[in-house]
Amino acid sequence: MRTTTTASQLIDDLVDANHVLVDRGVLDAYGHVSGRHPDDPEKFLIARNLAPGLVTAADIQVLDLDGGTDDERPSYLERFIHGEIYRARPDVHSVVHSHSASVIPFTISNRPLQAVWHMAGFLGEGVPVYEIREDAGMGSDLLVRTPELGAGLAASLGEGAVALMRGHGSVTVGDSIPHAVWRAVFAELNARALAVAVGLGEVTPLTAEEGIAAAKSNYGQIRRPWELWRAEARAGRRG
């Protein structure tokens, strides 16, 4: 589903992704989305330290995988999430980091965030939870403030699509910005549906095979919601 070929197109997608993720309840004043540089896999593009709903093309910075940049404007404190996942996962071309409230219960309980809906088959039978105490001890502010903590989170993510962060939020990855956005939206909606279902009674999750089959089918349909959500976000910005 990779269609972005130039830095200019990637910046357009990144700006739209910020607004789409706000519209869909994945990002609020916090969280961020990035895209790997199309011409230099050792760099990525991400907004400067700014609420996602306010991001324009002029706010996009180019960072190296260590989080460094020539841009003098402040960068996100947790930029190391992105750099270390890009370093560990050559297949990943976009990363979303969210603090959305819907996933928090699954980061602090023994209930796995598993696929219960065909739209979220990519979650499989459950996603990993990164315990920052293993790398930062018992007194951290839970933020991924260093490359070492970013590497710990990337290791927890492994080859998966989503990792939760205990008491903090989540990361979602994809092979393009639309792919990562699509996954982040449906991980969020699956979390809400699962939390409701747990309150109703016994839950029937997808089997591993159903999750794989559903994810494969949905992968071919990512452009449809992306084009809708982007159009709605752009219409909202004009208003």
Closer to Zn ion by Cβ: residue 60 or 164: 164
Rg (CA), the chain: 17
Q: Which amino acid is at 47?
A: A
CB of 31 to Zn ion, least distance (A): 7
Closer to Zn ion by Cβ: residue 59 or 78: 78
Which of these is catalytic: 78, 84, 209, 210?
A: 78
Distance of CA 4 to the CA centre of its chain: 18
CB of 193 to Zn ion, least distance (A): 24
Closer to Zn ion by Cβ: residue 78 or 84: 78
Residue in the shown chain whose Cβ atom is closest to Zn ion: 78
SS3 215: helix
Site residues (CB under 5 A) for Zn ion? 78
Judge whether 34 and 78 are in contact, CB under 8 Å.
no
Q: At which residue do the structure tokens 């696929």 appear?
A: 115
Residue in 173, 170, 29 with CA at minimum distance from that of residue 107? 170
Q: Which amino acid is at 116?
A: V
Judge whether 190 and 115 are in contact, CB under 8 Å.
yes
CB of 99 to Zn ion, least distance (A): 5
Q: Which amino acid is at 205?
A: P
Closer to Zn ion by Cβ: residue 27 or 177: 27
> 125 catalytic, yes or no?
no
Any idea which residues carry the catalytic annotation? 78
